[in-house]
Amino acid sequence: MILCFDIGGSWIKSAVARSADDIAIGDKHPTPLEDFAAFADILKAKLDGLPERPQCVAISMTGVVDPDSGVITCANIPCIDQRRLAGDLEARLGVPVLVANDADCFVLAEAGQGAGRNNRIVLGIILGSGVGGGLVVDGRLANAAGGFAGEWGHGPIIAQAAGDPPVAIPAYPCTCGQKGCVNTVGGARGLERLHGLIHGVDLPSTEIVAGWEADEPNATRTVDVYVDLLSSPLALAINITGATIVPAGGGLANSAALLTEIDKTVRNRILRRFDRPLIVRAQCDIEPGLVGAAMLGLEHIRNGVEH
- For residues 253 and 213, membership in a common domain is answered with yes
Per-residue model confidence (pLDDT) at position 147: 64
- Residue 170 is part of a domain; what is its CATH number? 3.30.420.40
* One domain for residues 166 and 203: yes
Are residues 135 and 249 located together in one domain of the fold? yes
**Contact present, 109 and 4 (Cβ < 8 Å):** no
Using pLDDT thresholds of 50, 70 and 90, give the confidence band for residue 97. very high
Do 243 and 293 have their domain in common?
no
| Distance, CA of 241 to CA of 86 (rounded, Å) | 28
| Whole-number pLDDT of residue 146 | 65
Range of the domain at 229: 117-281
- Shared domain for 13 and 156, answered yes or no, is no
The amino acid that residue 136 corresponds to is V
270 and 297 housed in the same domain = no
- Tell me if 112 is assigned to some domain: no
What per-residue confidence (pLDDT) applies to 124? 95
Across the beta sheet with 246-249, what order do the strands follow?
A: 140-141, 131-137, 121-127, 246-249, 279-281
What whole-number distance in Å separates Cα of residue 281 and Cα of residue 266? 15
Q: 64 burial class (0-12, 13-18, 19+ CB within 10 angstroms)?
A: buried
* Count of domains for the chain: 2
Same domain (yes/no): 156, 265: yes
State pLDDT tens for residues 50-66: 999 999 999 998 888 88
- Over residues 149-199, the pLDDT tens digits come to 888 999 899 999 999 999 999 999 998 889 999 999 999 999 999 999 999
Same domain, 56 and 163: no
Peptide bond into 96 cis (omega under 30): no
Q: Could you read off the pLDDT of 202-232 as tens digits, one per residue? A: 999 999 999 999 999 999 999 999 999 999 9
Is the per-residue pLDDT at 68 higher than 90?
A: no
pLDDT digits (tens, 9 = 90+) for 249-292: 999 999 999 999 999 999 999 999 999 999 999 998 678 889 88
- 145, 238: one domain: yes
